[in-house]
Structure 1
Amino acid sequence: MTEFFFWLFMLATALLIPGSMLLLGRSFAKKPPGEINGGYGYRTARSMRNRQTWEFAHAYSGRFWVRAGRPTLAVSLVWMALLFGRDIGTVGRLGTVLTVIQLVPFLAVIPATERALRREFDDFGRKRE
């Protein structure tokens, strides 16, 4: 019984990253946070230069997370289904490996969005022609 509850805990934990990617991605793609701020949203120096870069960065990163979140969620569900019924040590180790793998698309949004910002805007935040 303990193994089952631990597996449920690990399943819930494994769904946090892809779930966050999908929920925040949809939110950011639709509407960025109201004001440019350093506390919430996609926050880098390049994205916070002006309103236009702020909105572009949120729309781009939101779409990226939604596109990357779907396969990440699918892989996570299959991975955890394969771990069902295993001992606590195996579920814990392989669940940790899954979390590290999930961090790749979760963090890949940063270089991808920064490249897109560089491609779309000059060093002063003005849209390139």
Structure 2
Amino acid sequence: MGFWIFMLIMDLLLPFTMIGFGRYFIKKAPKEINSVFGYRTSMSMKNKDTWEFAHKYCGKVWYVCGMVMLPITVIFMLLVIGKNEDCVGSIGASCIIKSVDVEI
């Protein structure tokens, strides 16, 4: 049961991170255009207007994707509760890999 809890926590990190950064970017973009933090593309960094629009749009996408991934991850992990560690590890790893695929 301890391994299942560990895998559940690890699997939920990505959806919660996407929800958190999505809400943050919807409310406010980083103040200055920079190459360290934020949604950095050549188009988003052209001027302040495109920088703010890109963050608002990206924030909405990340928020929605995180909200969709959250219940899906929980459902898949509930399906393997009480199973052996190999099964839990395989399903947990699949959830993480699919979450990263959705993000990219």
TM-score range for the pair, normalised by the shorter chain length: over 0.9
TM-score, normalised by the number of residues in structure 2: 0.94
Once the two structures are TM-superposed, the CA of residue 65 in structure 1 deviates from its matched residue by 1.1
Counterpart in 2 of 1:19? 16
Q: What is the aligned residue count?
A: 104
Unaligned runs of 5+ in 2: none
Q: Would the aligned equivalents of 1:48 and 1:54 in 2 still touch at CA under 8 Å?
A: yes
Aligned Cα RMSD in Å? Answer: 0.9
Equivalent residues of 1:17, 1:106 under 8 A apart: no
- How many angstroms apart in 1 are the aligned matches of 2:57 and 2:100? 18
- Is contact 1:25-1:65 (8 Å) kept? yes
Larger RCO (CA within 8 A; separation ≥ 6): 2
Q: Which residue of structure 2 lines up, in the alignment, with residue 56 of structure 1?
A: 53
What displacement does 1:80 show?
Answer: 0.8
TM superposition shift of 1:41: 1.0
Matches within 5 A, 1:66-85: 66-85=63-82
Q: CA deviation at 1:6?
A: 0.9
| Residue identity matched to 1:97 | S
Superposition map of 1:29-68 within 5 A:
29-68=26-65
5+ unaligned residues in a row in structure 1: which ranges?
Answer: 108-129
> With structure 1 as the length reference, what TM-score do the two structures score?
0.77
Q: Is the 8 A contact 1:29 1:62 kept in 2?
A: yes
- Residue 95 of structure 2: aligned partner: 98
Q: What is the alpha-carbon distance in structure 2 between the residues aligned to residue 68 and residue 31 of structure 1?
A: 19
Secondary structure in 2 matching 1:104: helix
Give aligned-pair identity as a percent. 40
Taking the aligned partners of 2:38 and 2:77, their CA distance within structure 1 comes to 30
2:4 & 2:98 partners in 1: Cα distance? Answer: 18
Partner of 1:87 in structure 2?
84
Computing the radius of gyration from Cα coordinates, the structure with the larger value is: 1
* CA offsets 1:68-115 (integer angstroms, 9 cap, x no match): 2111101011111111111111111111111111123212xxxxxxxx
